[in-house]
Copies of this chain bind each other. A is one copy, B any other.
Amino acid sequence: MALDLSSIRPPGGKRSTKRDRILNVFLRQEGHVSADELVALVHRDAPGVGRATVYRTLQWMVGAGLARKVDFGEGRFRFEPSYRHPRHFHLVCNVCHRSSEFLSSDVESLMEEIAAARQFTPTQSVVQIFGTCEECRTGRKTPSLDGSTTALVFARDALRMAIATERSGLDFYTRAAKLTSDARGRAVFQKLAAEEKEHLSTLQKRYTQLAAQDPNLESRPTFLFFKGAASGLFAAGAEQLRKGVDDQQALLIGIRCERGSHQFFKRYGERFEDSEGKQIFLEFADEERTHLDLLIREYRELRERQSRGRSR
């Protein structure tokens, strides 16, 4: 809960005391605050702070990348801390003016590519989909996704994807072990299959723990969108195995998948807020990295043996 301000303070940041006060109040905030709301909040702590200072600080925070300025069509801007999810996106309802958030790894990477193609140096991205939310359309209440639950739902989605990934990995390695003619290669695949199984059970245990924290967790809307991982990173690879490949190709496919998997765990591990989930993810990222090295070594070895065999 305690925020480490000094680590957050951005480069080029100017010194101040009031500023820190305002920043502090702002960062404690979960949702989207308007300038005036922030003034009121700050006044509760320290009544002597002028509105102008809050505005000025807000400007500075946006410039420094600490805050994001968003428009929900209400005629005034709202601000949100940007340290948690450096980029996240909004579905904004035109009727009730509420917004619900989501994260999309795919959109993020597309935007990075596009900016790079235009030699543009991006600092912040705003993605807003305006329209009508289900509640305003149907009148029925739907499980919401407010500030207090996003961390939980993020963890849920990341775990779901991780489970799908490990499950597909288990499938892939089991299948690969069966297919591989070479004894050494088979052993490697069997070892990896065993580890993925281990990972899988750790993740599932963690998932049940999470589910216990919020009875509605299962039914809350998806927060994290990532096409590659949603159905398991190894799924496509397992599919290829089914079509028949040789030992070498199987290793190559494994390498490609394992690389994706390492990146997946690293990328999302860093964004976890609950330290336990974060630790699992970062640990797995390391292990997947080890798997990757193992596969690469095995691949080199195999190629060498083959070329020796051929030249003989």
| Chain A interfacial positions (CB closer than 8 Å to B) | 63, 69, 71, 73, 91, 93-94, 100, 102, 104, 106-107, 110-111, 113-115, 117-134, 137, 142, 221-222, 225, 227
Q: Given that A104-B110, A111-B107, A221-B117 are contacting pairs, would A124 and B134 also be in contact in the complex, using a CB cutoff of 8 Å?
A: no
Q: Which residues of B contact A137 (CB under 8 A)?
A: 121
Q: Tell whether, in the assembled complex, residue B104 and residue A91 are in contact, meaning their CB atoms are under 8 Å apart.
A: no
Q: Which residues of B contact A113 (CB under 8 A)?
A: 225
Q: Which residues of B contact A110 (CB under 8 A)?
A: 104, 106-107, 110, 225, 227
Q: Tell whether, in the assembled complex, residue B107 and residue A129 are in contact, meaning their CB atoms are under 8 Å apart.
A: no
In the bound assembly, the distance between CA atoms of A94 and B128 in angstroms comes to 19
In the bound assembly, the distance between CA atoms of A25 and B6 in angstroms comes to 52
Q: Tell whether, in the assembled complex, residue B129 and residue A114 are in contact, meaning their CB atoms are under 8 Å apart.
A: yes
Q: Which residues of B contact A69 (CB under 8 A)?
A: 73
A132 contacts which of B93, B117, B120 (Cβ < 8 Å)?
B120
Q: Tell whether, in the assembled complex, residue B123 and residue A94 are in contact, meaning their CB atoms are under 8 Å apart.
A: yes
11 residue pairs from A and B, CB less than 8 Å apart: A71-B71, A102-B114, A107-B111, A110-B110, A110-B227, A118-B221, A120-B133, A121-B131, A123-B131, A125-B129, A127-B127
